Structure formats: structure tokens, C-alpha cells
Amino acid sequence: MKVSVFSDVVCPWCYLGVTRFERAAAIHTIITGEPVEISLRAYQLDPTAPALAVPTTEFYETKFGSREEAESVIARVESAGKITGIDFNFAEAVRGNTFDAHRVLTWAETTGAGVQRDLAHELWRAYFLEGADISDHDTLAARAGIVGLDIDEADMILAGDDFGAEVRTQIETAREMDVEAVPMFVVDGIYAIHGAQSQDDYVQALAKIAAEIRGSAGE
């Protein structure tokens, strides 16, 4: 079973959803013996975001129209995070353009099994927990180094447009599939699972899809 996940690195529901989905996928594999291969695909919540990052709380105030509404949204995310074991730190978070982060994630996928996953979680931790600017090239290269990637190669990739075409293709694919909210999980290119659901809901969704796949194979 292969799963493509459309997500953005500054999307808290993506961090929550992917974390829960990975746990559900592990449970599915334990129960069925069937491996679940997960790949991240680029989606930008704000493709026109400037390169210079701004405080995420300010961004939310502008997006949602008021400080009160922004605080309400943050409170909901923080509550969901506690249930999942993620301690969000919006007070220090800064938000910029995520295109280059997606380029590095796309590169990471080509370097070996699990590397993209490790880098995605490193970037989520950097942004949501540590207040790091993940639109900054030095930050991206350093985080790539943490998961075992070559920092000099990361610097060279970020200095140009390497993997930019691939990222643009992924974003266009999401548009063609009418993806309007993330995370969006696409199983075997056919079955869609929408949004940040509970771990149990993901387990049930995978079981249902697996049954449908077996049924189709038996026809």
C-alpha cells in the first residue's frame, strides 16, 4: 500500500495528521503484515508568502481577522497537540515561504528510505516547537544535516532551483485533484483520506481501503 500525503510544513494539522497516520499505518502493518509506504507531496497554504518570515501569531491575526479568533484557532491546535504528544510553541514560531523547504524534502526522498520522513519531522519540530525560520536556507541545510544529509549539497541545492520543477509538478497535481485542504492522504493513487483525523479513524480507514483493494483483486 502506497500513500502520497499532500501537506505543508507550516500546517499544524498536517503535523498532527501525519503523526497520527504514521502510527495508524504501523498498527495496520502489525495487524495485517502489509507494509504502508508513505511519501510526502508538496502543497503550499500560502504560495505568495514572502521570503522574509513574520511571527506566526501576527500572520494568524491577519488571516483570521482578529487576535481573539487567532487565539481561538491556536488554542484548538494546542489542545489537539497535547492529545497527540506535540507541545506546540506558537509564541516563538515565525512563518515564511515554504517552497524551498519542499525542495529539500523532495531531494530527501531521493536519498534513501525514511530520510524524507525524518526531515519532515525535523522541520515540523523546528517550526512548531523551536521557533526556527524554515524558509531560511541556512536553517534548512542545518536541519538536513541533522538527519544525515550532506550540508554542502543542501547548500548547493538551495542556492539554485534544484527540485523546483518537481515541487511545482506536485503542487499542480494537487490542484488537478481539487485538493483544497491538507493533509490529504491518497492511497494507491485512488482512495482519499481527508484531514487530520484521530489515530483510530485512520486505522479504520486503512482497513476499509485494504478490504476494498482485496475485493477488487478478487473480481
Number of domains in the chain: 1
Q: Give me the CATH number covering residue 62.
A: 3.40.30.10
Segment 77-118, tens digit of pLDDT:
999 999 999 999 999 999 999 999 999 999 999 999 899 999
Contact call for residues 197 and 179 (beta carbons, < 8 A): no
pTM, 2 dp:
0.96
Structural domain boundaries enclosing 172: 2-218
**Backbone φ, ψ for residue 63 (5° rounding):** -65, -45
Cβ-based neighbour number of residue 165 at 10 Å: 11
Segment 180-218, tens digit of pLDDT:
999 999 999 999 999 999 999 999 999 999 999 988 766
Cell numbers at 190, concatenated: 485512488
